[in-house]
Amino acid sequence: MIGVLGLEDGTRVEGVGFGAPGVVSGELVFVTVMSGYEEALTDPSYKGQLLTFTYPLMGNYGVSGDHFQSDRIGAAAMVCKEIWNRPLHHRSTRTISQFLEEEGVPGIHGLDTRMLTIKIRNQGAMRAALAVGEGPDVIDEDVVGLAKDQPDISSLDLISAVSCKSPYRIPGDGPKVVMMDLGIKRNILDSMACQGFDIVVVPSDSRISDIERYDPEALFISNGPGDPEKAGRAIEAVKHFAGEKPVFGICLGLQVICLALGAETYKLKFGHHGGNQPVKDLESGIVYITSQNHNFALRPQSAEGTGLKITQVNANDGTVEAVRSSYLGMEAVQYHPEARPGPLCTRERFFSSVAKEIEKRRR
């Protein structure tokens, strides 16, 4: 198959199509993980985005399904330098091409991903369109025009598309925690379950009365795609429970918590997407290597007067990576302590801190 990628700045490149034929559009971003393409592709936070992998070879160990972070691929398309369709890994059940085809997701390889990455770094994440198929119709597709005509990703409500549609429970012997699903990853749930919590996952549009029905001992706001200001119900929930129950968040969850307390967020130039983002803890001076996937961040000056203390920052660009309020019993991180893909340096530290804070409030 033929693949043609177009960008809003007029760039048009041709490559080899794979996966499912079709035409898709979205925001082009790059991710720096060297492995973990299964986890990245199935991360709901990539909803609405064409995912460019900077590591040149994808698919070399096939697809097992053991590390999916949701039931389906979240990304709109996959863009990479080269794919390998003869994996030999003993756990592989299909190739990367077969996986995308089954999911109805197009992909393109055989193009210069280094050029695309440099372009995104210089100009920022941009609108893009991809056409994959056979014959002259694909070559003639106006992918540049499609890229220019689509709305900005910040204007879209992507959260409702990836949230669960009805509540469900993961039973445990510990305190009951309600987790608002804005696009939650499975490994967050697994990490919380390992702490013994009795977990109730509720949709992103749940009302305060829906949450109170479960009489939780804490509220947890998950990761998810898009602009945090679109998470209106989650913002309302944090405002309501702040100071009454402990509140925790990961990634988009941090931004929602900050907005609820009166702080501001802004869109980063090209976001943080990868498994090698350095995070410096301001108290200990320790630098952790973390997994991240977000386009928005907290405006640090706006946190003044909210009761939130900035406790960690990105060692590369100084963006906020963690906030805490001992008085309100709040803690949130911008990175993904549960990883998948990426390092697990912060997993035990964060989730055990959640458990300790809830236990402290129970006394």
pLDDT at residue 363 above 80? no
Residue 31: predicted pLDDT = 97
The pLDDT, as a whole number, for residue 7 is 98
- Residue 8 burial class via C-beta count within 10 angstroms: exposed 0-12, middle 13-18, buried 19 and up: buried
Establish whether 224 is an annotated binding residue. Answer: yes
Question: Distance from first CA to last CA of the chain, Å, rounded?
Answer: 63
pLDDT per position as a tens digit, 258-297: 999 999 999 999 999 999 999 999 999 999 999 999 999 9
Mean pLDDT of 304-310: 96
Can you give the pTM of this predicted structure?
A: 0.96
158 known member of a binding site: no
Mean predicted confidence (pLDDT) in 17-21: 98
How much of the chain exceeds pLDDT 90, in percent?
96
The verdict on whether residue 255 carries a ligand-binding annotation is yes
Residue 277 counted as an annotated binding residue:
no
CATH of the domain spanning 2-150, picked from 3.30.565.10, 3.40.50.300, 3.50.30.20, 3.90.600.10: 3.50.30.20
**Mean local confidence (pLDDT), 190-214:** 97
What would the DSSP string read from start to end of 161-177?
HHS-SS-EEE--SS-EE
The ranges of the chain annotated as CATH 3.50.30.20 are 2-150
What's the pLDDT band for 312 if we cut at 50, 70, 90?
very high
In the chain, residues under CATH classification 3.40.50.880 are: 159-362
Cis? peptide before 106, omega within 30° of 0: no
135 pLDDT band, cuts 50/70/90, is confident
94: tokens are: 């299909």
> What's the pLDDT band for 362 if we cut at 50, 70, 90?
confident
Q: With bands split at pLDDT 50, 70 and 90, how would you rate the model's confidence at 80?
A: very high
Torsion angle (degrees, nearest 10) of CA 194, 296, 236, 233: -80
Query: What pLDDT, on a 0 to 100 scale, did the predictor assign at position 290?
Result: 97
Q: Look at residue 116 in the predicted model and tell me its pLDDT.
A: 98
Query: Looking at the predicted structure, is the pLDDT value of residue 361 above 90?
Result: no
Task: Write out the catalytic residue numbers.
Answer: 251, 336, 338
Has domain 159-362 been given CATH number 3.30.420.40? no
Is residue 284 annotated as involved in ligand binding? no
The predicted model gives 31-39 an average pLDDT of 95
Q: What is the mean pLDDT of residues 73-91?
A: 96
Per-residue pLDDT, 142: 95
Is 45 annotated to bind ligand?
yes
pLDDT value, residue 208: 98
